[in-house]
Structure 1
């Protein structure tokens, strides 16, 4: 372990916040918070400086619990039920996704989020760098949802969302929305977008007079919810991960 100086990370060390992110403990920002709170130690020494470099053979603990070194990036599909927060811990004590995962799961971080009232496909990974890569707009990956709303949508108005829409001064990008079925005053839509703001689908549809009753993510890029049961988690094979990410697939060596 040493402080970051003129020698780059590639010379045998890696900044502790990045190391923790790749190990699936937390995002870099959250890792820096853990360090500032004095909860991270390297070789038994509590840290206060996120510039410290972790070297092969160093022992890292968070809350006195040893953290395994980052290895091969792994990815899981998880069918998130409604009523769970996508956060490591909630000050109000509400249930979280990470509390419901099998005890055999390693530490993971989520790829993006789903709000508490939403359900469906959530990707989980042991590698914070891979999570940021999968979230990045440059991928252009479509995120597809099945949405149940109250009301009878106008197909023409739905089609106009492909041009984007501004609500209360906030500009939302192109949204593909199609009407699938109508029964009485309840309708099912398929909604797709490539880069979404927080609660974007709910806000846009409510602006159109279509309150959302249910929102299910069924695809995130090439990864599909499919028939994965609610609450179940299934690892994406390494071969599939390499195929989908191509040359951009992360390669990790164990220290």
Structure 2
């Protein structure tokens, strides 16, 4: 007898019963089978051609977990935010790739949110508060965060406002809606790279010496310099506020009466490079910061600024341990 046929050829079967047929209990494998979730309310589109090959090469696409009738939001542990934005859309907007490529990354288990691997396409997140990594690299998914590199000229004050009306960093970037603050300081006579951001967590790590983010300086001094200057600086120099050692030192150029040296260190004390070299008998004539972590000053002209690229920002977060 067909399960859908009325018993004994009688009248139509009553609806509204608990079971699938005649009010009985549902049979295994039929009505009791939980519906398969796709997260978006539509059946997943079958991957074909290049998209399928890319997924197969990365990892077998995991099957989304089954959920019974009445199940709520997609399973994303504690990371799912019903009021948030779909994870694949957030990644695409952050430059991780096309929407389809981001879906492939998620399905392959390459994406984490707040440290938890997410493989369902239905998961939503809050880009302003949650941390997203792809293949271990953090993606800046909050569009409200700003990261700017500035080439500070000599004579500019390393503040965003100066009561005396002197040129300051705010004059280098013009009026902005965000409340930016500088990562570290450069004294008025020091030129070069300084970062402006409203990302407090990143700024703290870049400035704190315990995170070991290196800073590179070019210093012009009276030459010639002694052969063992680099060794002395690497071993450490005693200053009035304690010993300081550089991470590396090299002679870049030398002419009669002139020398250009490069100093790399992760200290952030006031005038530390000037004081180090002067303590060894080489007062600084000109000082330029050329690099902060992976960010290079390059050909950015004095007084100009630029936004960090996505690649630079990922590298910066990596060295800061974010």
Shared fold (TM-score, shorter chain, > 0.5): yes
Q: State which of 129, 149, 153 in structure 1 corresponds to 2:221.
A: 149
Match of 1:123 in 2: 195
Pair 168,107 (structure 1): closer, same or farther in 2 beyond 3 Å: closer
SS class of match (2:202): helix
Q: How does 1:1-150 map to 2 (within 5 A)?
A: 72-104=144-176, 106-150=178-222
Q: Conserved in 2, the CA contact under 8 Å of 1:163 and 1:175?
A: no
Q: Conserved in 2, the CA contact under 8 Å of 1:242 and 1:249?
A: no
Match of 1:160 in 2: 232
Pair 208,105 (structure 1): closer, same or farther in 2 beyond 3 Å: farther
Q: Partners of 2:143 and 2:205 in 1: how far apart?
A: 17
Match of 2:307 in 1: 235
SS class of match (1:245): helix
Note if 1:209 corresponds to 2:281.
yes
Pair 218,247 (structure 1): closer, same or farther in 2 beyond 3 Å: closer
Q: Conserved in 1, the CA contact under 8 Å of 2:250 and 2:261?
A: yes
Q: Conserved in 1, the CA contact under 8 Å of 2:150 and 2:172?
A: no
Q: CA deviation at 1:248?
A: 6.7
Q: Conserved in 1, the CA contact under 8 Å of 2:202 and 2:317?
A: no
After superposition, the CA RMSD in angstroms is 2.5
Q: CA deviation at 1:163?
A: 1.1
Pair 248,172 (structure 1): closer, same or farther in 2 beyond 3 Å: closer
- Give the number of aligned pairs: 182
* Gap runs ≥5 in structure 2: 1-141
- Which structure has the larger Rg? 2
Q: Partners of 2:307 and 2:321 in 1: how far apart?
A: 16
Match of 2:248 in 1: 176
Match of 1:197 in 2: 269
Pair 77,98 (structure 1): closer, same or farther in 2 beyond 3 Å: same
1:98-118 deviation line (CA, Å, top 9, x unaligned): 123233573311111111000
Q: CA deviation at 1:194?
A: 1.4
Q: Conserved in 2, the CA contact under 8 Å of 1:74 and 1:238?
A: no
Q: CA deviation at 1:122?
A: 0.5
Q: CA deviation at 1:84?
A: 0.4
Higher alpha-carbon deviation: 219-228 or 237-246: 237-246
Higher strand proportion: 1
Bigger RCO (CA 8 Å, 6+ sep): 1
SS class of match (2:238): strand
Q: Conserved in 2, the CA contact under 8 Å of 1:118 and 1:215?
A: yes
Q: Partners of 1:146 and 1:92 in 2: how far apart?
A: 30
* Gap runs ≥5 in structure 1: 1-69, 251-255
